[in-house]
Amino acid sequence: MSILVFAESSEGKFKKVALEVTSYGKKLAEQLDTNLVVVSAFAENTDPLAKHGAERILMGNSDALKTSDVAIWADFIVAAANQENAEVVIIDSSSNGAYVAPLVAAKLQAGFTSNVVALPLSTSPFVVKRNAFSTKAFSKTEIKTSKKVIGLAKNSFGLFESPVQSNVEDFSPDLGVGKIKRTSVDKATDEVSIADAEIIVAGGRGLKSGDNWGMIEDLAEVLGAAKACSKPVSDLGWRPHTEHVGQTGKQAATNLYIAIGISGAIQHLAGVNSSKVKVVINTDEEAPFFKAAEYGIVGDAFEIVPKLVEKLKEFKAENG
């Protein structure tokens, strides 16, 4: 028996979510008194995993994995789960993690819960706490099958170091040929994505036009933040759909979310509740967003944001 973690790598490196799932897997293995096995592919340096408790790492390198067919990736993880007789498989909630996890669950005939935010509340019965109703509530959900798949919500569990010497084994199960081909990809490589961001700067309809986004860009740049927006802003074409946060858009689970000229409609808040600290800048002191925020400034974004950028530059120069 074991706990299996899928640690996704991107261009050979591990993102924070990979270390979150590894940390979670390590703690769960302790809770269940069993071993942690991590499965991954194409990663060169596995030290970050070792630092978070990955004693055994199964590393895939085969050409079969150079596919855009998610079903092949699911087979890869399932092969690892079967080889290791995994009781629980843990997968992150990045766009790839959320893509592959349900397939893994169906193939293993395992119960699956996504958006899990904590270690199991009990292991017999196996009950986990997850976000539901677009983060407006938590649900305590029992997984009733003998095999289980957990989708871990981003930035909810935290990172825990427990350094070990890790053993990396080549893992090349037989995999079929993918039936989905990628013909093009369009990805902003020089920008932080909402999924990876520690800080997000978001603009709303209060900014009046897409032409006014320069100051949002400046603020995002000095903070090393990702840019986001409210739904009407993307509907109006001021900003791309990929930046839309909320119930029908992306989930922003960051440490800091700065909302500028966003009223804080319930559908928008549904996408930001998981962020730890929210700052609101709005001319209307009655804007509902203030009720959901930690810090607020009532005032005109066109005055406040440029000042904030300037002062943050000074702050960064002093504090490195």
Partner 1 sequence: MKILVCISSVPDTTSKINFTDNDTKFDTNGVQFVINPHDEYSLTRAMWFKEKQGASLTVVSVGNQSVETTLRKALAIGADDAIRINAEATDGYFVAQQLAAVVKNGNYDLVIAGRESIDYNGGMVPGMLATLLNYNFVNAVTGIEITENKAVVTREIDGGKEVLETELPLVVGSQKGIVREEELRIPNMRGIMMARKKPLNVAEPISAEAATEAQNFEKPAVKSACKMVDNVDELIDLLHNEAKVI
Positions 247 through 276 that interact with ligand FAD (CB under 6 A): 247-249, 261-263, 265, 267-268, 271
- Window 255 to 284, contacts with partner 1 (CB under 8 A): 255-256, 266-267, 270, 273, 276-277, 279-280
Interface region with ligand FAD, contact rule CB under 6 A, candidates 56-64, 105-113, 121-129, 295-303: 295-303
- Window 179 to 208, contacts with ligand FAD (CB under 6 A): 204-206
What is d(CA 299, CA 320) in angstroms, rounded to the nearest whole number?
A: 29
- List C-alpha distances in Å: 309 to 197, 204, 211, 215, 275: 18, 18, 18, 8, 21
Interface region with partner 1, contact rule CB under 8 A, candidates 42-50, 162-170, 180-188, 210-218: 180-188
What is d(CA 78, CA 71) in angstroms, rounded to the nearest whole number?
A: 10
Rounded least distance, CB 75 to partner 1, Å: 10
What is d(CA 18, CA 25) in angstroms, rounded to the nearest whole number?
A: 11
Judge contact between 131 and 60, C-beta under 8 A: no
Nearest alpha-carbon partner for 157 in 4, 2, 272, 17: 17
Interface region with partner 1, contact rule CB under 8 A, candidates 38-46, 50-58, 82-90, 186-194: 186-194
Which of partner 1, ligand FAD, none binds 85 (CB below 5-8 Å, type-dependent)? Answer: none
Q: Which residues contact 236 (CB under 8 A, 6 or more apart)?
A: 205, 210
- Window 59 to 78, contacts with partner 1 (CB under 8 A): 68-71, 74
CB atoms within 10 A of CB 9: 19
Rounded least distance, CB 268 to ligand FAD, Å: 3
CA angle 286, 225, 310 (to 5 degrees): 75
Q: How many residues bind ligand FAD (CB under 6 A)?
A: 26
Interface region with partner 1, contact rule CB under 8 A, candidates 21-29, 38-46, 208-216, 288-296: 288-296
Between 212 and 242, whose beta carbon lies closer to partner 1? 242
Judge contact between 264 and 290, C-beta under 8 A: yes
Rounded least distance, CB 301 to ligand FAD, Å: 3
What is d(CA 101, CA 28) in angstroms, rounded to the nearest whole number?
A: 18
Task: Return residues touching ligand FAD (CB under 6 A).
Answer: 204-206, 230-233, 246-249, 261-263, 265, 267-268, 271, 281-284, 287, 300-302
